[in-house]
Amino acid sequence: MSFGFFRKKPQPSTALSVQEREHLVAGRSLPLRIVENGRARRLTLRIEPGCRGLRITIPPGLAKGEVERFLLRQQGWLEQKLIKLPDKPEVRAGVKIPVRGVPHLIVHQPGKRGTAAVAEYESAPALLVYGNDEHLPRRVADFLKREAKRDIEALVEAHCGTIGKRAKTIRFRDTSSRWGSCTSDGALSFSWRIMMAPPQVINYLVAHEVAHLKEMNHGPGFWRLCEKLCPDTDRCKAWLKRNGNALQAIRFE
């Protein structure tokens, strides 16, 4: 049993059929999945994490024309949402990437040996990346993983001390559907991409998962404990809801 941050407990599949195609919106061609679900009573539309595509869930036997009319009605909403998100931003020299919520210019220095480090470049925050150009995205990702391990392990220890619990293990992954999770045996997992968020949001995510070590639910007791560990819970949760997709969309390949 595990609890994921911003993710419901997995349920047995009720999909009856799946159709896939491309859909043009806000100047982008996005993969669209139309899923017929036996439990659905109405049409629902969502943008997949990281803006990787669109998904429509429909009731069984719905006419194709109804899907097209639904898409047409939702076009304005989609355009408003997608126009705010970067179009598959790639990590490369000359672009900015947030580190703990602060934009850092990526400066490539191929003539030096090393990985990546925070510094000032022309009086502005920068991330200096060394080595061959083809390894730059991976070196930036490795930097974020190291920072996540250092900061999050310290926060887990502090919050666990407050509630009198202990984490069995702490893992770091690149997940598209959740920012963190906690299993019933005390294993915590975090997305290292959270290191691009502001410090208070990082703290909230850790507080959220550590609270699950004592409250394996999302009931009133859990939220009281979460707010005790992180008084900014509501504001940080809202920030992650507004900005999470943009962080998930950044490509480190």
What Cα–Cα distance (Å) separates residue 109 from each residue in 58, 128, 132, 224, 253?
Answer: 51, 7, 9, 48, 19
Tell me what pLDDT residue 24 has: 78
What's the CA gap between 204 and 226, in Å, rounded?
8
Task: Report the chain's mean pLDDT, rounded to a whole number.
Answer: 88
State yes or no: pLDDT of 26 exceeds 50: yes
Percentage of the chain modeled with pLDDT above 90: 59
pLDDT band at residue 112, thresholds of 50, 70 and 90?
Answer: confident
Q: What is the pTM of this model?
A: 0.70
Tell me what pLDDT residue 210 has: 98
Tell me what pLDDT residue 7 has: 41
Residue pointed to by tokens 């999770």 = 181
CATH code assigned to 96-249:
3.30.2010.10
Residue pointed to by tokens 């580190």 = 99
Domain boundaries, the chain: 7-82, 96-249
Neighbours of 158 (CB within 10 A): 14
Report the chain's terminal Cα–Cα distance, integer Å.
32
3-state secondary structure 154-181: HHHHHHHHHHCCCCCEEEEECCCCCCEE
